[in-house]
Amino acid sequence: MNTDSYAHWMLEQETRALLARLARIKPFVMNEPMLLAASLLPTAQIAIERFLATGRSDLRRRGDEYLVWLRGKGRSATPEEAQRRFVFLKLKFNAVLSQLDLFNQVITQRSESEIGVWLSGLDVVSADALALPEHYHAPPVICYLDRGIGGAIRRARTRLPGGGENPVAVIRVPRERMIGSGIASSLIHEVGHQGAALLELVPSLKAALQAKQRQSDDTQVWRLWENWISEIVADLWAIAKVGIVSTLGLIGIVTLPRPFVFRMNLDDPHPIPWIRVKLSCAIGNAFYPHPQWQRVATLWDSYYPAKGLDDERRQVLARLEASLPEFAKLLVGHRPPSLRGRSLSETLTVAERGPSRLTALFKAWENEPSRMYRAPPSLSFAVLGQARADGLLGPEDESELLAKLLSYWAMRSTLDSSAYCAALPQARASKPLIQTTTI
C-alpha cells in the first residue's frame, strides 16, 4: 500500500470511528435518571433535545458526505487535502460535544433528589419573573447550582460555541444561597438580563443616558451610569419583582473586604459595589416609596463609611450619589419603543408588590397558608423576603417555607404538564416532538 492509499485508508478509519462514537451519544431523556418532579419543563426539554439532535444529525450527514468524497473524487486528492477536510469534521464533532457538555451539568444535577426538585422549582420562579406575554414570547429557562457568590446567565437566542443559537436561557445560581430569599436576588437579576435583551432595554437606555450627558454639566457621572447600564437594568428587574429581597441579596454578594467595595475599575460592567447598593435603594424607593430604603442605605453606610478614601474616589462617589434620585427617576420612567408607550414602572410592577402590601399579604397568609401556594412564585419570594426584612419571619422558618414552596411548584408544574399532555387529542399529534431519524 503506497503512502497516499495508506493515508486515505487511515482517514476513512478515523471518520468511521468518529461516527461510531457519535452514534453512542444519546438524548438526555435516555440517560439521566431523576425524579419526575425534578425534570425540566417540557418546553425546555424539547428545545434542548431538538437542538442537540439537529447538531448530531448535521454532523452525521457531514461525516457520510466526507466518506463518499473520500471513496470517490477524494481518491485523487493529496493526503494533505484529505486531512484538511477531516480536521474540520473533527472540529465540528468537538463542537457538538461542547454543546452537549453545556447542558450536561444542568441536567445531571436534577438526579439529586432534593436539589433536583428545588432546581425545578426555581425554573418555575424564573418563568414567572420573565413572563410578559403582551410584549414577547419568553424562552424556556433552566437553572443549575455552582460555586461562587454570584449568578450568571447564558441567554437564549445567543450564539453557542460551535454555532447555532442557544435554545434556552441557562441560569447559574450560587449554591451558598440554597435556600433563602437571597436566592431570588441572584436568580431574578439574571432573569432581568434575559428580559432586558428581549425588550432591547440596554440600547434604549444608553441613548437616553447619552442625551443626558449632552444636557448635563457633569458628563462623567452620566457616562459612568451608561457604562454600567447592562447590570443596572438587571438589578432594576429584580427590585421590581421581589422588592427589598433584591437589595438585601445584593448586599450579601458585595459584602467583601473594604478595598473591593470601593474599587474603581471603570472597565467593569458592574457598578462600584458601594454605589451599586445605594442605587438599588434609590430604585426601590422610586418603584415603591417607603422609609425602609433609606434605612437600608444608612445600614450600608455604617458597614462601609466613605471616610478615609482618597479625594478622587470620594468626589466621584459623592457626585454619583447626588445623581441617584434623578437617575432612578429616569430608569423607572423610561419608555422604550418595545413597550409601545408604557414605562418600565408600569410594565414591571404591580400594586401588591409595595412593602406595605407585601407585609399585609404575609399576615393574611399566616391565617390562610394555602394562599401562599396559589400566589405567583416571584410574589411569594417578595412576601417572605419582606417579612424577613421586617423581623416577622426568622431565617430558619424562611428556609423551611421556601423549600416547601419550591418542591410544591416543581410538583405542580410537573402534574400540570402531564395533565396537559394527557388531554391532547391523539389525532392532532401529526408528528413526533423529536424526529427519531435524527437521534
Give residue 188's pLDDT.
96
Boundary residue ending a domain (349, 377, 412):
349
Q: Does 409 share its domain with 317?
A: no
Q: Give the separation between CA 185 and CA 276, rounded to whole angstroms.
A: 14
Beta strand 152-154 with 169-174 is: antiparallel
Q: Give the separation between CA 334 and CA 343, rounded to whole angstroms.
A: 5
Per the domain annotation, does 331 fall within a domain? Answer: yes
Q: Does 273 share its domain with 344?
A: yes
Q: Does 413 share its domain with 287?
A: no
Of the candidates 384, 387, 377, 372, the one whose C-alpha atom is nearest the C-alpha of residue 292 is: 387
Structural domain span for residue 281? 200-349
Q: Does 415 share its domain with 343?
A: no
Q: Cα angle vertex 414, ends 29, 156, to 5°?
A: 65
CA distances 332 to 4, 151, 235, 269, 437, Å, are: 69, 24, 12, 20, 50
Q: Residue 174 has which C-alpha cell?
A: 450560587
Per the domain annotation, does 259 fall within a domain? Answer: yes
Q: Give the separation between CA 242 and CA 385, rounded to whole angstroms.
A: 8
Per the domain annotation, does 373 fall within a domain? Answer: yes
Q: Residue 163 has which C-alpha cell?
A: 454555532
Per the domain annotation, does 38 fall within a domain? Answer: yes
Per the domain annotation, does 241 fall within a domain? Answer: yes
Boundary residue ending a domain (109, 129, 160):
109
Q: Does 314 share its domain with 258?
A: yes
Per the domain annotation, does 390 fall within a domain? Answer: yes
- Total number of domains constituting the chain: 3
Which three-class secondary structure state does DSSP give residue 54?
helix
- For residues 84-101, one letter each, b for 16 or more C-beta atoms within 10 angstroms of the residue's C-beta and e for the rest, the string is ebbeebeebbebbbebee
Boundary residue ending a domain (349, 382, 417):
349
Rounded to 10 degrees, the C-alpha dihedral 260/264/267/268 comes to 30
CA distances 103 to 92, 108, 185, 223, 400, Å, are: 17, 9, 23, 38, 29
Of the candidates 127, 112, 129, the one whose C-alpha atom is nearest the C-alpha of residue 38 is: 112
Q: Does 278 share its domain with 222?
A: yes
Of the candidates 107, 173, 194, 197, the one whose C-alpha atom is nearest the C-alpha of residue 381 is: 173
Give residue 433's pLDDT.
43
Q: Give the separation between CA 439 and CA 426, rounded to whole angstroms.
A: 23
Q: Does 323 share its domain with 253?
A: yes
Q: What is the pLDDT along the chain (439 residues), one digit of tens a residue?
A: 566 688 899 999 999 998 998 888 888 777 667 677 788 888 888 888 888 888 899 999 999 999 999 999 988 899 999 999 999 999 988 888 888 888 887 888 888 878 889 999 999 999 999 999 999 999 999 999 888 788 899 999 898 877 788 999 999 998 888 888 789 999 999 999 999 999 999 999 999 999 999 988 889 999 999 999 999 999 999 999 999 999 999 999 999 999 999 998 878 899 999 999 999 999 999 999 999 999 999 999 999 999 889 999 999 999 999 999 999 999 999 999 999 999 999 999 777 799 999 999 999 999 999 999 999 999 999 999 999 999 999 999 999 999 999 999 998 888 877 666 666 555 455 555 444 333 3
Q: Does 250 share its domain with 282?
A: yes
Q: Does 15 share its domain with 105?
A: yes
Q: Does 344 share its domain with 366?
A: no
**Angle of the 182-199 helix axis to the 377-390 helix axis, nearest 10:** 140
Q: Does 365 share its domain with 345?
A: no
Q: HSE (CB half, 13 Å, CA atoms) of 425?
A: 3
Q: Any alpha helices (H) in 304-394, and if so which ranges? A: 311-322, 324-333, 344-348, 355-367, 370-374, 377-390
Per the domain annotation, does 45 fall within a domain? Answer: yes
Q: Does 356 share its domain with 345?
A: no
Residue 146 phi, psi dihedral angles, 5° rounding? -155, 165
Per the domain annotation, does 22 fall within a domain? Answer: yes
Report whether 102 contacts 51 (CB < 8 A).
Answer: no
